[in-house]
Amino acid sequence: MSLDVGIIGLEMSGRTTIFNCLTSMEAGSGRSRQEEHIGIARVPDSRVDRLKEMFKSRKAVYGEVKYIDLGASIKNAAKDFTLSGKLLSSLGATDALLCVVRAFKDEAVPHPQASIDPARDIEAMELELAFSDMAVIERRLEKLSAQIKSSRTAERPALEGEAVFLENIKAGLEAGAPLRRQALDEEDLKKISGYQFLSLKPMLTVLNIGEDELGQARQMEEQLNLRFGDKSHLIVALAGKLEMELAGLDDESRQAFLDDFQIEEPGLNKVIRTSFDLLGLISFLTTGEDESRAWPIPRNTSAPQAAGRIHSDIERGFIRAEVVHYDDLVRLGGYAGARKEGVFRVEGKNYIVQDGDVINFLFNV
Ligand SMILES: Nc1nc2c(ncn2[C@@H]2O[C@H](COP(=O)(O)OP(=O)(O)OP(=O)(O)O)[C@@H](O)[C@H]2O)c(=O)[nH]1
Ligand SMILES: [Mg+2]
């Protein structure tokens, strides 16, 4: 299962630069290139590397995130009907949004608003998402009102109920609350799942900072998170241009570079991991001669459903799961130790898989 993340942001904010770092691609950046790029990033997971070493697997396989750099901005799309249809259908199908906001100073790179002000730009992006959703709601309300007029009495209450509900969430949007921040219960969410609302999607805002701002990065993140963050919107700082240089180095030079700048890990890893967390995903692990591998799943996935990620046959023919947590497996040096300590368990079909479970599924087809 790969996760699809759509990259949005103002023009010349560094979207393509960050897309290139994330996916190790070399899409052309600068001067408003409007084409769409798609690339895959691995979710870094040191547990996979450790398992590969312990069990001498031939390869390591990581979870994946698919990033889509849309090229065009939502704002331009608002002026252009064909562009907006294409953009909205690409964005609507994503699992989450990554919004690039410029913080770096560089006279050579023009800013559409002519000055650098990340808070203003975050607000502007939130507004663009809200406007896009309001337009979708208005179109639906127009249709509903015609339907209500021509409907039979028995059908009317349901249609009227939908209209009231849509009016309510639209009022929320107008008052400045993105849908992800409105109190919607499971039933509400089911009602609107077909609309692919943008302000409902989890969002990661990447503050594209200059390397001279690395010292203040933490503080900038904190301030903006306090003001704009919520449980489905996180703001992280990343030095886009520096990261791009980092991505082009071999492992050894990269480490030297990180040490020089006193950076604990490449900011990209943080971005990839955070996109993953934001979506409420965890990973279970498998290991063997062939491969050690991380399998991303939503929280609260049952053992048979998790098995289904590997192959539908394993889900259908599920018998039981042999489970040992990664931490125990490593601490006790392998399966023999884990069995002796009693931390090697056999779980049935109601077991809810936990992050870091190393699992062997037994099945029958
Ligand atoms: N100094 C500096 N320049 C950067 C940074 N990130 C991007 N740039 C430059 O800013 C310009 C725009 O970057 P892009 O990555 O193309 O931005 P974009 O949002 O994809 O722009 P368009 O798609 O053209 O609207 C390029 O010339 C980049 O080299 C940064 O962190 N620091
Ligand atoms: Mg671009």
Quick: pLDDT tens for 221-234.
Answer: 999 999 999 889 99
Which atom of ligand 1 is least distant from the CA of 11? 25
**Quick check: is 93 in a domain?**
yes
178 pLDDT higher than 80? yes
Domains of the chain: total: 3
CB 37 near ligand 1, within 6 Å: no
Strand partners, 237: 207
Band of the pLDDT at 79, cuts 50, 70, 90?
low
Ligand 1 in reach of 302 Cβ (< 6 A): no
Range of the domain at 343: 300-363
Evaluate whether residue 145 is within a structural domain: yes
Smallest Cα–Cα separation from 349: which of 310, 307, 297?
Answer: 307
* Mutation to probe ligand 1, out of 16, 101, 208, 212 (largest number of atoms < 8 A from CB): 16
The confidence score (pLDDT) of residue 255 equals 86
Question: Is position 291 within any domain?
Answer: no
Lookup: tokens for 14: 């560094």
Residue 191: inside a domain: yes
Q: Are residue 206 and residue 101 in the same domain, yes or no?
A: yes
Structure tokens belonging to residue 1: 């299962």
Based on the domain organization, do 106 and 29 belong to the same domain? yes
- pLDDT, tens only, 30-70: 544 556 789 998 888 999 999 999 999 999 999 988 999 98
Range of lowest pLDDT (118-127, 246-255, 301-310): 246-255
How confident is the model at residue 78, as a pLDDT? 56
What end-to-end distance do the CA atoms of the chain give, in Å? 23
Please, which pLDDT band fits residue 244 given cuts at 50, 70 and 90?
confident
8 Å CB contact between 17 and 106: no
**Percentage of the chain surpassing pLDDT 90?**
61
220 and 258 housed in the same domain = yes
pLDDT of 310: 93
Q: Is residue 264 situated within a structural domain?
A: yes
* Higher-confidence position of 293 and 273: 293
Ligand 2 centre distance from Cα of residue 364 (Å): 50
> Given pLDDT bands bounded at 50, 70 and 90, which one contains residue 325?
very high
| Alpha-helical regions (H) of 209-287 | 217-228, 240-247, 251-260, 267-278
Residue where one domain finishes, among candidates 198, 218, 249: 198
Residues 334 and 355 in one domain: yes
Instruction: Say yes or no: 160 and 235 in one domain.
Output: no
Specify whether the CB–CB gap between 5 and 281 falls below 8 A. no
Residue 24 confidence (pLDDT) above 50: yes
Query: Does 102 share its domain with 219?
Result: yes
The length of the chain in residues reads 365
Q: How far is the CA of 45 from the centre of ligand 2 (A)?
A: 29
How confident is the model at residue 32, as a pLDDT? 46
- Which among 154, 177, 198 is the end of a domain? 198
Q: What's the CATH code of the domain at 343? A: 3.10.20.30
Cβ neighbourhood burial of 199 (10 Å; 0-12, 13-18, 19+): buried
| CA proximity to 92, closest of 193, 19, 162 | 193
Is 294 contained in some domain? no
More confident residue, 91 or 137: 137
Find the CATH number of the domain harbouring 63: 3.40.50.300
Mean pLDDT of 146-157: 92
Same domain? 43 vs 53: yes
Contact 69, 8 (CB under 8 A): no
204 and 156 within one domain: no
HSE (CB half, 13 Å, CA atoms) of 364? 2
**Mean per-residue pLDDT, 182-206:** 92
Distance separating alpha carbons of residues 348 and 365, to the nearest angstrom? 17
Distance CA 313, CA 307 (A): 9
